[in-house]
A = this chain, B = another copy of it.
Amino acid sequence: VSSNPDASRSRLIGAELDDPIADLERRARERLPQSIYDYYAAGSGHETTVAANVAAWSTLRLRPRVLRDVSTVDLSTSVLGEPIPHPILVAPTASHSFAHPDAELATVRGAARAGALMVISTRSNVTLEELAPAAPDARHWFQVYVMRDRGWTRELLARAAAAGCTALVLTGDTPYVGRKLRPSMATLRVPDAATANRPSAAPADELASEQDPSVTFESIEWLREESGLPVVVKGVLRGDDAQRCVQAGAAGLVVSNHGGRQLDGAIATATALPEVVDAVGDSAEVYVDGGIRSGTDALRALALGARAVLVGRPVLWALAVDGADGVATMLEQLREQLWEAMSLAGAATIAEITPDLIA
């Protein structure tokens, strides 16, 4: 495993390869201060889960079909009933102002241009009210924590609904923030990431803006009722948890280990995905993030039963390198790669990406 897990596969056989996605990380690292790069790239602890996420997709060998009519390949699908042109979503990530002066405004524009549904983070540097007009026709979901200050959470839900977000993504794996060990981050002053979406009557107590470590499955129903929006739970890695989420009212699940930033040693998402898919059957939609770095990875995830994939760090690298244009280009490359992988695997539609494609 190299120092750059995103790029590691491109050096598998020692040849220099021009992987446009991996290359973005290299270029972003050159531009960003070390501490900012590390802030985005780091995992918790020994970063074994960061590495495992990327590696786990690679180890899934594919069983392509031959002699299928792939003269047209259709990537369109839907999530929670909403039609989308392709199953590549933008994962919620915090503090885009570290990467680009336009912060989430650029990300929203780039994602919209590429037709990618974006999950806006609570910890964004631009308010929900500013982001919505930036891409009026795009689809957005809103990522929430249940904060210690329930009033703030409630206000956020109302604002997200008003801004046109069509679903809530509840992060379930972060009762506390996992400890990172990269030395450069010791000197990083993370600005109050929650400032932008802070309510008008912000509590003086900073603690109030932290996620509440006592929340349980009941919060799913509470969020749904407060917002009137379907709730997706992010961070699920087990079948039993998935079932409890669905029983508690979740409409969808993101199989995720928070990009390896919470419990170091947690299983790779590619490993957890089949168990979760199996556990929920048709009762909820299942998405996945963590280590998706190519269209072939997306094909693998869909073959294992994911309805869509979410991409996190590559969006940040693209944003750092070229703002909204970078984000749009990167997402279009991923879509193009998925198109190619489908055509070479003999899958002309998303529905034809079935488990038998995996060895």
Contact = CB atoms under 8 A, between A and B. Distances in A.
A354 to B, nearest CB: 12
B46 A10 contact: yes
B233 A47 contact: no
A1 interface: yes
Given A217-B67, A264-B296, A176 B17 contact: no
A344 B197 CA distance: 26
Contacts of A42: 15
Interface string A211-235: 0111111011000000000000101
B182 A215 contact: no
B213 A10 contact: no
A215 to B, nearest CB: 6
Chain A interface, DSSP helix/strand/loop, else mixed = loop
A158 interface: no
B213 A70 contact: yes
Contacts of A58: 46, 48, 265
Interface residues of A, number: 86
A340 to B, nearest CB: 6
B340 A215 contact: no
Contacts of A200: none
Interface of A: 1-5, 9-10, 12-19, 38, 41-43, 45-48, 50-52, 58, 60-71, 172-173, 175-176, 178-179, 181-183, 186, 212-217, 219-220, 233, 235-238, 240-241, 244-245, 257, 262-268, 271-272, 294, 296, 300, 340-341, 343-345, 356, 359
Given A60-B265, A213-B343, 6 more contacts: A12-B51, A17-B182, A61-B266, A62-B263, A71-B175, A263-B345
